[in-house]
A and B are shown apart, each in its own frame.
Chain A
Amino acid sequence: LLPVPARAPPQAPFRFSPRRLRCPREHELLEDGDIHRHLYLQDILVSVTQVTEKPKVSEFSCHIAGCCQVFDTLEGYEHHYNTLHRNVCSFCKRSFPSGHLLDIHILEWHDSLFQIMAEKQSMYQCLVQGCVEKFKSSKDRKDHLVTVHLYPSDFRFDRPKKAKSSTKHSKSPLLQNASMPVDIKTFEQPQVDSMEISPVENMENASQPLSSLISLPPEKHLNRSRIPSTICFGQGAARGFKSMRKKI
């Protein structure tokens, strides 16, 4: 290292003094690089929008017992599997979008110890990851989700356990239920009464005979579905009967 004498202030009229430069976001030195970044992003966004043709394979069906959906792309199968079969409750076969929601469901619906403890302490945990709040009831939890986390009041993955809400769903599913979001899928999934997504579960809450649902003309179902409704709903139907018998 070369020797350095002590730093002296600049001699007038000269004013230079070495200084580290800080550039905040809007500094002019950063402009050109920012433009380049912006152009790069435009390219990326275009390529994400373009739906690339996925390679097709010969048709195959889902391996899960009772599910007869068929596929001709691996991605299609992957998404189906993840949506319906991956996070499935082994007790009631309802499926969930994530392991987190499945775990909460099992705890709150199928764990008798939970029920006992819930009488004495706040056991209903907030659904938002990172929030540690717990509540005495699922209604209190829902109020928290709505007021603190700005969740919609009809959040599909936070329905109270059906014993409390069975009276709400005695109407025909084909009529628009004011408390339900209006959606096309009520044709084949009349009601979503609980904290999951499954074509199966709504059977359990229908108070009208199953046959009236199956008698829906097939073209009302979305064309892409190749599940013959009698078969895939069959598994649910059997349980639907069972739970209808269990209903208080």
Chain B
Amino acid sequence: MRVLIGLFTSSLADVQMEAAHCLHELSHSSDPAVAEACLPATSYLLTYLSGHSIEFTELCLYTLGNLVVESEAVRKQLLPQGIISALASCIQSPHEAVLEGLGYVLSQLLQAKEASIEIIPLVLDSALPQHMLQLVCSNLELGMGVAVEFAWCLHYVVCSCVNNALLISQGIMSTLVLLLLELASMVSKAVADGLELLICPVLRCLSNLLAEEMEGCNMQVQDERLLVALFTFMQYFLNHHLFIVQECLWLLNNLTADEPFFCSAMLTLDLIPALLQLLPCSRMVALLVLTVLCNIAEKGCAYCQQLHQKAVLSSLISILTLSDAEVAGQCLELLHLLFLHWPEAAADFFTQAGLQALEQHQHHPELQERVRALMNLATQPTAASPCSLVSSAAVPSSLP
């Protein structure tokens, strides 16, 4: 190693470059002892980050990134050696290759098991977050590599919940919403490959940020176009990257859980049929779709009336017949909400042979209580819905 480091710090540029390649090779080893053997090189790797040779800097960055992954000892040394400051300087480079490498190192650092205690606070204290927010929107048409790395970095920071209030004060919510809108327009033009690698972490950030339930966050996302974007993504990635559908639905849950804004928008934009079409995709997707529908139904009778009009019941009856206990359970919750707020739906359900669909689950320990509660409605007369007493002017009767 001493020989190699001597060559690495040589003034003969091509020798130095070859030595850098050697170190980079070593950094690929999955043996942590090899990463630790590279410890004497780290101060030089960091020093060279402020150099100007693109390829050399890139190599140093990927070497550091690899070493960081393999060894806690390396991370324990790099932090006092000033890696965060070095990265905060290097991030001002105009070169894409350097920025992508830097994003890679940072993404590996942020995933360390000790990250939320040792690393993320330092990162949040530096100029890095503002740069990350800029870079996550950058260069989308020409090559998304840089944006992808920093989107994943933001995801690791956000999901650690160390200081999301800071990121929110720096405008992360509106930045990411606008980014999703732009990505949706790229998707509809089929412009870029690999968009899912960027969409995924952005969805996660927004979902986790919403889950923090901070003051003023809701207002920053209230844009109907966001819903259209989500459905654009789900339709586009349905056949190849189902995980995008899952993660879009997670965001949709967080958007519809509390605020009625998006529940209304789902109805006025006529997105319920598209949502129902996702039910057969997978168990996880079905659960999430049903949860979103429950969010909407829970908002009250005006919502349930419209869901009923959208032929939700026939989808529910099919899914009830096919499903495992957890999905069936969520179905039952939805049926309960629909019947509670809009009893006409109950009558309709039983005329569509809903009773038979219920019966097959009546002995399941997890489900039987709820099944019986619903089955009892088959024998009761339809009560007047509190909703029908509300003047029809309050309920939009025609949809675009």
Complex interface residues of chain B between 143 and 182 (CB less than 8 A to chain A): 145, 148, 152, 156, 159-161
Partner of A20, one of B204, B210, B244: B210
**Contact between chains at A21 and B207 (CB < 8 Å):** yes
Check B62–A48 contact: CB distance below 8 A: yes
B280 within 8 A of A: no
- 0 or 1 for each of B361-400: is its CB under 8 Å from A? (1 = yes): 0000000011001000000000000000010001110000
- State which residues 110-160 of A face B: CB under 8 Å: 128-131, 148-152, 155-157
In the assembled complex, which residues on chain A have CB atoms less than 8 Å from the CB atom of B88? 130
CA distance A238 to B256 in the complex (A): 78
Closest chain-A Cβ to B324's Cβ sits at a distance in Å of 16
- CB-based contact A14/B302 at 8 Å: no
CA distance A48 to B59 in the complex (A): 8
Contact of B86 with A by CB under 8 A: yes
* B72 interfacial contact with A, CB 8 Å: no
Which of A10-37 touch B at CB < 8 Å?
11, 13-25, 29-30, 32-33, 36-37
Q: B98 → chain A, closest Cβ, in Å?
A: 12
- Partner of A197 from B11, B263, B333, B390 at Cβ < 8 Å: B11
Determine if A82 and B53 form an interchain contact, defined as CB atoms under 8 angstroms apart: yes
User: Known: A32-B242, A149-B81. Is A21-B11 also a contact (CB below 8 A)?
Assistant: no
Given known contacts A2-B395, A98-B47, A156 and B207 CB-to-CB distance under 8 angstroms: no
**Please, what's the 1-or-0 string for B43-77, where 1 marks a CB less than 8 Å from any CB in chain A?**
11001101111111011001000100000000001
In the complex, which residues of chain B have a beta carbon less than 8 angstroms from the beta carbon of A151? Answer: 43, 81
When each residue 9-43 of chain B gets 1 if its CB lies under 8 Å from chain A and 0 otherwise, what string results?
Answer: 11111111100010011001000000000001001
Q: Which of A167-175, A181-189, A211-219, A240-248 contacts B (4 or more CB under 8 A)?
A: A181-189
Q: How many A-B residue pairs have CB under 8 A?
A: 229
Name the residue of chain B whose CB is nearest to the CB of A147. B80
In contact, A184 and B16 (Cβ under 8 angstroms) = no
Given A44-B104, A152-B40: A20 touches B254 (CB 8 Å cut-off): yes
Q: How far is the CB of B36 from chain A (nearest CB, A)?
A: 13
CB distance from A103 to the nearest CB of B (A): 11
The chain A residue sitting closest to B47, CB to CB, is A97
Given A16-B330, A150-B77; 6 other pairs, CB 8 A cutoff: A16-B333, A23-B208, A76-B14, A79-B13, A130-B84, A150-B43
Closest A-B pairs by Cβ, 10 of them: A183-B6, A130-B85, A32-B243, A22-B211, A98-B50, A16-B333, A18-B257, A80-B13, A13-B369, A128-B82
**A-contacting residues of B (Cβ < 8 Å)?**
2-3, 5-7, 9-17, 21, 24-25, 28, 40, 43-44, 47-48, 50-56, 58-59, 62, 66, 77, 80-82, 84-86, 88-89, 101, 104, 111, 126, 145, 148, 152, 156, 159-161, 194, 196-197, 200-201, 204, 207-208, 210-213, 241-244, 246-247, 250, 253-254, 256-258, 260-261, 263-264, 267, 284, 294-295, 298-303, 306, 330, 332-334, 336-337, 340, 369-370, 373, 390, 394-396
| A residues at B contact (CB < 8 Å) | 1-5, 7, 11, 13-25, 29-30, 32-33, 36-37, 40-41, 44-45, 48-49, 51, 75-76, 78-80, 82-84, 86, 95, 97-101, 128-131, 148-152, 155-157, 181-185, 189, 197-199, 222, 224-225
